[in-house]
Amino acid sequence: MWLRVLAVDEPAAEVVRRIFAEYLGGKGDRAIANGLNRDGIPCPSARRPEQNRHRLADGWQGSSVRVILENPRYMGYAFFGRWARQEMLLDPEDVSAGHVVRFRRVVAEKVVRSRTPAHPAIVSVEDFTQAQLLRRARAAGGMRGRAKLERIRTRGTRPYVLRGRVRCGICTRRLQGAVIRKEEVYYRSMARTLAPGSSALAGHPRTVNLREFDVFDLLNRWLGDLFKPENVDRTVAALVASQGQGRTAAVETIRKRLSDAEARLRRLQAAIEAGVDPAALVEAINEAQAQRAAARAELDGVAPPTAVSEAEVYAMIGALGDVAAALKHAKPEVLEQLYDRLNVELLYEPKGRTVLASVTPRVVSECVRGGSCTLSTRIGLPG
């Protein structure tokens, strides 16, 4: 009898870890696929065509990323019975026409999982669970929830180095890249794209504009100082001391969403008591209940903080490569990769003309299992 054991293909495993890290960092399926294609990473059907004869080797698609994010085998356990074979008649009114075989996904309750790990894990149980909770939270709002997901422009040849990294300090949405005023790159948020009745409309200018040139050099100067050889020890100490702050902020964000959903439900119930027809509020009540359930599930699934040692932080910084060289050459594609690995986030406050910049270097590898630390600074802009 032959015993089949799954082995880890390390180059492919690194791609899987990258997909989970980017998804947990806020990117969607299509944005992750676009990044993989942009970096020239072959898709599964191109990497192993002999195992994917039924697929076109036409690059990464959002569906490819979704399949990887939903595959529980990456946790190291064996799963059985995820798909059931069904025979369906081609023509229900003509049995002689024959049948066709289809495979249907089985409900989670009927799937069998091994009690102990059956092969090496690529993704931790905590990261996989968090990804599933995030997918459930995004799907809870139906089409309205999907419409509110942040989108990042991918068309066009002009590079937007800070694409997807700048948020508005008033409405907290990501700013969209645009070329205005003498062919200069700006990142902007327009009040007309906010939902009617949004609380952010009260203090939101008609358009919030942030010129890339104003923040670019100041941001790179701060990053360069952080990772200078003479400053690395100080940076490592600050990163180690910052552990747990990001998790606390995430928990507070989830709790606020839960509180907002419960407050909305109370307002709807009060409206019914005041005489509003309950049938007219069914959709709003269902949406609020779904948001409350998703927030509760996400709050229950928040993993405990993982302590990262100084040695692991040094390994994180070492894996980033030559940061000073990347900043010096300032090639857009190189800077985009560096910002991605540093997980650079910017929060623009238009009233004070300041930017709160933060970095959360996260390197998922054999020696660093998903630990994260954050450093931030406030940058004053000219003008």
Q: Is residue 156 part of a domain?
A: no
Q: What is the pLDDT of residues 239-289, one digit of tens each?
A: 887 775 555 666 777 888 888 888 888 888 888 888 878 777 777 787 788
Residue 11 lies in a domain: yes
Flag whether 119 is in a domain: no
Same domain, 67 and 139: yes
CA angle 184, 187, 191 (to 5 degrees): 125
In this prediction, residue 90 has a pLDDT band, given cuts at 50, 70 and 90, of low
Residue 132 shares a structural domain with residue 42: yes
Nearest CA to 364 among 302, 319, 329?
319
What distances in angstroms separate CA 288 from CA 142, 144, 209, 285, 301, one per listed residue? 11, 12, 33, 5, 20
Q: Do 227 and 353 sit in the same domain of this protein? A: yes
User: In this structure, is residue 161 part of a structural domain?
Assistant: no
Distance CA 18, CA 85 (A): 33
Q: How confident is the model at residue 366 (pLDDT cuts 50, 70, 90)?
A: very low
Instruction: Answer whether residue 338 is part of any domain.
Output: yes
Is the predicted pLDDT of residue 107 greater than 80, yes or no?
no
Q: Which residue has the higher pLDDT, 255 or 3?
A: 255
Domain span at residue 16 reads: 1-77+125-149
**Model pTM?**
0.52
Domain-located, residue 59 = yes
* Domain identity same for 287 and 328: no
- Same domain for 266 and 348, yes or no, is no
More confident residue, 232 or 194: 232
pLDDT digits (tens, 9 = 90+) for 315-357: 888 877 778 777 877 778 888 888 888 889 999 999 889 999 9
Residue 145 is assigned to a structural domain of this protein:
yes
What's the structural domain count of the chain? 4
Q: Taking 80 as the threshold, does the pLDDT of residue 138 lie above it?
A: no
In terms of domains, do 88 and 188 share one?
A: no
Sequence-distant (6+) residues with CB within 8 A of 212 are: 160, 161, 162, 184, 185, 186, 187
pLDDT band at 2, cuts 50/70/90? low
Q: Residue 298 to residues 142, 159, 251, 253, 287: CA-CA distances in angstroms? A: 17, 35, 9, 11, 16
Q: Are residues 55 and 139 in the same domain?
A: yes
Q: What is the mean pLDDT of the chain?
A: 78
Asked if residue 68 and residue 29 are part of one domain, the reply reads yes
Last residue of a domain, one of 268, 285, 300: 300
What pLDDT does residue 40 have? 84
Whole-angstrom Cα distance, residue 375 to residue 359? Answer: 5
Same domain, 180 and 217: yes
Q: Are residues 63 and 144 in the same domain?
A: yes
Residue 311, number of CB atoms within 10 A of its CB: 11
| pLDDT value of residue 370 | 47
Instruction: Give the pLDDT score at 312.
Output: 81
Pair 141, 64 in one domain: yes
